[in-house]
């Protein structure tokens, strides 16, 4: 079967019922035997969340940054939204019928300033951009259209994993996101080398790390050594000749229980030319392939090699310290299909290209995009998208328009009405998708951008994300973001775009690959800078998108 058709059909079926939302994770495959399972991988789709090609229900899951207490990520974004291309570590509900996430930790590899672009070096780490889906997840850009837009001095967040690179290692990026230039703190994960305990220094890639009495090391009392994998945070920027002062160091020594079910996806390391390669590591986890290991598709053990991306399922053996593989999938080009299911938001149409977002992911269409019967794309329409990552967007190969089903995640924007603080509910009747449905919040709902349960009022404009709970049950709100009243268009239809601003000048800016003209009458608030998340209201004026109003938002 054509891989695209296979992935699209899987996505369509997944939209049908709550049970099928979970079934795509593989059902009862050893994780459903009680206890807590673990998974490590790259986010490669949304319906709930696809991790390494598997779909997992995340409603009610706690999402955090991998950081230290009150660390910089938590201070900047205390309740983060999971994004395409991010690396995550998740705890799975071992008692669930399918794949259900209890908690997820977002684990970037590097956050810092770009030192050079050829090669691409960020905070001392060499970064490789991947465009080949057979090699691994294609690099997602956010705040850039492609690697060509990156400049020395930019501050970026890089997700990915280490792969061999000549005599050393580099980070094969799964996501590169532009960040505002402030603040200046740095995070780098990697392997310690050239440790000098007496001087209090070691190297992480090209970075020289200084540590001492002001550095917190976790676990307490752990002795650093060469070859140890750590994450390091610095309050200040890189200085001198790639020097940085460590405020916090965490030893990335994952603790799994004996026979705990573990899934890990990432590039292979440690084969060192051996073939067959039956012992290797993925994301710092040692893996053992046995005669009982099952390989997916046409792959065999001979296909395992350094740099190849694999997806391993198995049980952790505490005695050997290895993940004993029950099943292994070696990544193929067909695994590069990105699947998205949800509602359309921020729709724009210039007559040639349609751009919109599904679960916060920018999507665009071109002349080769095909549509299901009677399927048209517009704000609030439920869509299932199969496509390919091209720079900062998913270019849709095919779009279907399934019915709203239990478990579907929707995004919407509009004014609050019928607020009932005691019942923790309100309505947004201006959106066709929501109609008369009641929107409920609970203790897990994230409020941001100045919103709080006590500050909401009828008539306030909000952007919301919710999960459909079924007829009569309305939507459970996952996020509520306070927003502004939409402006009046001076001519033509009013459109909105939310995303990371880039190419910002006094005369123009881009959001989600949409080029926008800033005219004398445009209202652009302070804080609309490169790397900032903004909402831009635009209309078509003389064949161009002209900004009416743009302002920062905190999603």
Q: What is the pLDDT of residue 196?
A: 97
Mean pLDDT score, 117-146? 93
CA distances for 412 relative to 195, 258, 285, 426, angstroms: 52, 44, 40, 13
Q: Which residue has the higher pLDDT, 30 or 298?
A: 298
Backbone angles phi, psi at 12, to 5 degrees: -65, -45
Cβ-based burial of 321 (10 A; exposed 0-12, middle 13-18, buried ≥19): exposed
In tens, the pLDDT along 503-541 reads 999 999 999 889 999 999 999 999 999 999 999 999 999
Peptide bond into 119 cis (omega under 30): yes
Type and span of the H or E element at 74 = helix 72-76
Q: Where in the chain is the domain with CATH 2.40.50.320?
A: 110-251, 409-482, 495-552
Q: What is the pLDDT of residue 17?
A: 26
Q: DSSP assignment of 9-41, as one string?
A: HHHHHHTT-HHHHHHTTTSSSSTTSSSEEEEEE
Range in 19-33, 143-157, 317-331, 469-483 with the lowest mean pLDDT: 19-33
Q: What is the pLDDT of residue 284?
A: 85
Residue 8 has pLDDT above 90, yes or no: no
Whole-number mean pLDDT of the chain? Answer: 88
pLDDT tier for residue 59 given thresholds of 50, 70 and 90: confident
DSSP annotation of 485 reads P
Q: Where in the chain is the domain with CATH 2.40.50.140?
A: 261-334
Which homologous superfamily does the CATH classification assign to the domain defined by 409-482? Copper binding periplasmic protein CusF (2.40.50.320)
Type and span of the H or E element at 282 = strand 279-282
In tens, the pLDDT along 255-307 reads 899 999 999 999 998 998 999 999 999 988 999 999 999 998 889 999 999 98
Cα(358)–Cα(410) distance, rounded to whole angstroms? 8
Mean pLDDT score, 475-503? 94
Mean pLDDT score, 429-456? 92
First to last CA, the chain: 39
State which CATH number among 2.40.30.30, 2.40.50.320, 3.40.630.30, 2.40.50.90 fits the domain covering 495-552: 2.40.50.320
Q: What is the pLDDT of residue 3?
A: 38
Q: What is the pLDDT of residue 240?
A: 83
pTM: 0.88
Which homologous superfamily does the CATH classification assign to the domain defined by 261-334? Nucleic acid-binding proteins (2.40.50.140)
- The CATH code for residues 110-251 is 2.40.50.320
**Furthest CA-CA distance within the chain:** 71
Residue 33 has pLDDT above 50, yes or no: no
Tracing tokens 């990915």 back to the chain, one arrives at 160
The C-alpha R_g of the chain, in whole angstroms, comes to 23
């Amino acid at each position: 079967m054509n891989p695209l058709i296979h992935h699209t059909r899987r996505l369509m079926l997944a939209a049908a019922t709550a049970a099928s939302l979970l079934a795509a994770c593989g059902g009862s495959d050893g994780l459903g035997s009680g206890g807590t399972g673990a998974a490590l991988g790259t986010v490669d789709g949304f319906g709930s969340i696809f991790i390494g090609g598997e779909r997992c229900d995340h409603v009610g899951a706690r999402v955090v940054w991998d950081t230290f207490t009150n660390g910089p990520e938590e201070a900047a974004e205390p309740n983060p939204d999971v994004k395409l291309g991010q690396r995550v570590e998740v705890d799975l509900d071992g008692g669930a019928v399918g794949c259900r996430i209890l908690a997820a930790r977002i684990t970037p590899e590097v956050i810092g300033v770009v030192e050079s672009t050829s090669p691409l070096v960020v905070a001392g780490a060499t970064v490789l951009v991947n465009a080949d889906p057979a090699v691994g997840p294609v690099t997602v850009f956010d705040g850039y259209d492609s690697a060509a837009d990156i400049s020395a001095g930019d501050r970026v967040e890089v997700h990915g994993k280490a792969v061999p690179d000549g005599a050393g290692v580099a980070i094969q990026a799964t996501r590169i996101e532009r960040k505002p230039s402030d603040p200046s703190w740095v995070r780098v994960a990697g392997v310690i080398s050239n440790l000098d305990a007496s001087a209090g220094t070691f190297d992480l890639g090209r970075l020289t790390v200084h540590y001492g009495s002001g550095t917190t090391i976790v676990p307490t009392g752990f002795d650093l050594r060469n070859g140890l994998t750590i994450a390091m945070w610095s309050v200040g920027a890189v200085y001198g000749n790639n020097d940085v002062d460590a405020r916090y160091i965490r030893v990335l020594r994952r603790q799994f229980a004996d026979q705990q079910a573990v899934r890990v996806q990432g590039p292979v390391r440690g084969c060192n030319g051996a073939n067959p390669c039956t012992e290797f590591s993925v994301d710092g986890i040692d893996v053992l392939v046995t005669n009982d290991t099952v390989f997916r598709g046409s792959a065999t053990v001979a296909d395992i090699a350094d740099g190849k991306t694999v997806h391993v399922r198995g049980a952790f053996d505490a005695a050997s310290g290895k993940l004993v593989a029950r099943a292994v999938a070696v990544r193929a080009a067909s695994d590069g299909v990105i699947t998205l299911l949800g509602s359309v938001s921020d729709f724009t149409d210039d007559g040639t290209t349609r751009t919109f977002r599904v679960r916060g992911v920018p999507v665009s269409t071109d002349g080769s995009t095909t549509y299901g019967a009677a399927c048209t794309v517009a704000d609030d329409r439920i869509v299932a998208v199969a496509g390919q990552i091209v720079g900062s967007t998913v270019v849709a190969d095919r779009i279907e328009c399934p019915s709203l089903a239990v478990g579907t995640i929707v995004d919407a924007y509009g004014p609050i009405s019928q607020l009932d603080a005691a019942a923790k509910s309100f309505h947004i009747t201006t959106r066709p998708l929501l109609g008369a449905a009641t929107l409920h919040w609970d203790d897990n709902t994230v409020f941001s951008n100045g919103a709080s349960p006590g500050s909401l009022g009828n008539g306030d404009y909000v952007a919301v994300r919710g999960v459909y709970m079924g007829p009569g049950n309305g939507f459970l709100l996952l996020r509520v973001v306070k927003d502004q009243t939409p402006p009046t268009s001076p001519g033509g239809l009013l459109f909105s775009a939310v995303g990371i601003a880039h190419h910002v000048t006094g005369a123009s800016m881009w959001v989600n690959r949409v080029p926008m003209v800033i005219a004398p009458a445009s209202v652009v608030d302070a804080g609309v800078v490169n790397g900032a998340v903004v909402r831009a209201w635009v209309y078509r004026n003389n064949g161009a998108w002209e900004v009416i109003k743009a302002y920062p938002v905190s999603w």
